């Protein structure tokens, strides 16, 4: 079995999650290099991902040294949001496929440039939103695509959690590194779910945000118009006592509730609860990335999702700044 050679860019908490998952469940993948400018992150990553004494791969403080020195098939990018764009561009230039944490980038122009660059080099970009890789999201996509809910009238999302308690003082609350606050961090899962599940695009938003004395937004409320006449709303709180979240989609003939990450499903056909829905099998985002590289699959979370979200977030933040509705550019995407 020919192993896929991967490099990890960024070795913080989410990178450790990916590393453990690959090590346990994806035998065709092999990490041959690790990158982080903080030696403490590298040490903790090695201790947690290789606890049995397995020899850890070479480490680098600069991802560009890794790209120049180590033969790679792909990279996993788990760095602060503002670094994603250039790291992905350079990795693709070096011949790598890319699995990139959300948000893919923090500017619409960067999303467009990255997609064009990947197409020109025939490289894969998969965005690490867990939702599209779940059975529940695929079930809902199929239900809506078949028209079982009828015309979609309403799409709402909620994401409330003690986010600030966990991330205060880190790069996530530094605007130049994060690109935005909880709307862009945990809220990214919610917005992606709203767009991905319905197949709709947001066309207009009116947003309010409260930074709670931080550089970035902590609490946000967004009213939304979608294509095909649907309306919606999304609320985010990063200063809640407990974690509560979900998506509600209501159509002319039924409704669906789910988690912003998948894993929960409630489907109403009219006023009848569908008790035992047939939910398709799926693979993990990590296994899917390897399958894509080997030509066995395509990703359900391509770079166009990152573009849609960048356009939406640009409009949300502009609306919050100007205190007025703002149109969202779609260009048919």
Among 81, 98, 127, the domain-final residue is 127
- Angle among Cα 33, 38, 43 to the nearest 5 degrees reads 65
CATH at 172: 3.30.360.10
> Can you give the residue range of the structural domain that contains 155?
131-277+301-327
In a domain, 258, yes or no: yes
Same domain, 262 and 160: yes
Q: Quick check: is 293 in a domain?
A: no
The pairing of beta strand 152-160 with beta strand 231-237: parallel
The token duo for 119 is: 């197409």
Would you state the pLDDT for residue 332?
Answer: 60
Judgement on whether residues 82 and 180 belong to the same structural domain of the protein: no
Question: For the domain that residue 20 is a member of, what is the CATH number?
Answer: 3.40.50.720
| The residue to which tokens 């930074």 are assigned | 211
Q: Looking at residue 223, what is its pLDDT?
A: 98
Q: Looking at the structure, tell me whether residues 149 and 43 fall in a common domain.
A: no
Q: Which residues contact 303 (CB under 8 A, 6 or more apart)?
A: 104, 111, 114, 115, 118, 125, 127
The answer, as to whether pTM is greater than 0.85, is yes
Report the domain count for the chain: 2
In a shared domain, residues 147 and 255: yes
Domain co-membership, 25 together with 96: yes
Quote the CA–CA distance of 45 and 83 in Å, as a whole number. Answer: 20
Q: Are residues 99 and 200 in the same domain?
A: no
Q: What is the pLDDT, as a whole number, of residue 196?
A: 97
Around 108, how many Cα atoms within 13 Å sit in the side-chain half-sphere?
A: 15
Residue-level pLDDT at 331: 72
Element (H, E) at 121: helix 108-121
Pair 120, 252 in one domain: no
Distances (CA, A) of 332 to 127, 175, 199: 20, 30, 12
Q: What three-state secondary structure class fits 326?
A: strand
Pick from 127, 157, 191: which residue ends a domain? 127
Q: Which of residues 127, 156, 173 is at a domain's end?
A: 127
Evaluate whether 220 touches 214 at the Cβ level (below 8 Å): no
> Which residues are registered as beta bridge partners of 234?
157, 222
Per-residue pLDDT of the chain in tens (333 residues, 90 and over written 9): 589 999 999 999 999 999 999 999 999 999 999 999 999 999 999 999 998 878 899 999 999 999 999 999 999 999 999 999 999 999 999 999 999 999 999 999 999 999 999 999 999 999 999 999 999 999 999 999 999 999 999 999 999 999 999 999 999 999 999 999 999 999 999 999 999 999 999 999 999 999 999 999 999 999 999 999 999 999 999 999 999 999 999 999 999 999 999 999 999 999 999 998 888 899 999 999 999 999 999 999 999 999 999 999 999 999 999 999 999 988 766
């Amino acid at each position: 079995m020919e192993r896929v050679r991967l490099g990890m860019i960024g070795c913080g908490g989410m990178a450790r999650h990916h590393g453990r998952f690959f090590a346990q469940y994806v035998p065709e993948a092999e990490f041959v290099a690790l990158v982080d400018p903080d030696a403490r992150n590298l040490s903790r990553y090695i201790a947690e991902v290789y606890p049995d004494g397995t020899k850890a791969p070479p480490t680098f403080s600069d991802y560009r040294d890794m790209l120049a020195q180590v033969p790679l098939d792909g990279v996993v990018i788990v760095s602060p949001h503002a670094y994603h764009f250039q790291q992905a561009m350079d990795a693709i230039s070096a011949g790598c496929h890319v699995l990139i944490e959300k948000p893919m980038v923090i500017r619409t122009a960067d999303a467009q440039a990255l997609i064009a660059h990947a197409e020109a080099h025939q490289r894969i970009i998969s965005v690490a939103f867990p939702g599209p890789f779940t059975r529940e999201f695929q079930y809902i996509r199929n239900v809506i695509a078949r028209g079982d809910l009828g015309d979609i009238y309403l799409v709402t999302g909620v994401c409330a959690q003690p986010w600030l308690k966990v991330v205060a003082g880190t790069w996530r609350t530094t605007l130049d590194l994060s690109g935005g606050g909880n709307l862009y961090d945990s809220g990214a899962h919610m917005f992606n779910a709203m767009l991905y599940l319905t197949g709709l695009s947001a066309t207009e938003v009116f947003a309010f945000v409260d930074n709670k004395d931080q550089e970035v937004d902590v609490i946000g409320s967004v009213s939304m118009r979608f294509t095909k006449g649907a309306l919606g709303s999304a609320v985010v709180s990063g200063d809640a006592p407990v974690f509560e979240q979900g998506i509600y989609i209501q159509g002319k003939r039924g409704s669906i509730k789910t988690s912003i990450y998948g894993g929960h499903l409630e489907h109403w056909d009219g006023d009848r609860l569908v008790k035992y829905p047939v939910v398709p099998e799926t693979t993990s985002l990590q296994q899917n990335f390897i399958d894509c590289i080997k030509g066995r699959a395509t990703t359900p979370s391509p770079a166009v999702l990152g573009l849609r979200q960048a356009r939406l977030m640009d409009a949300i933040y502009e609306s919050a700044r100007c205190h007025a509705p703002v149109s969202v550019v779609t260009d048919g995407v």
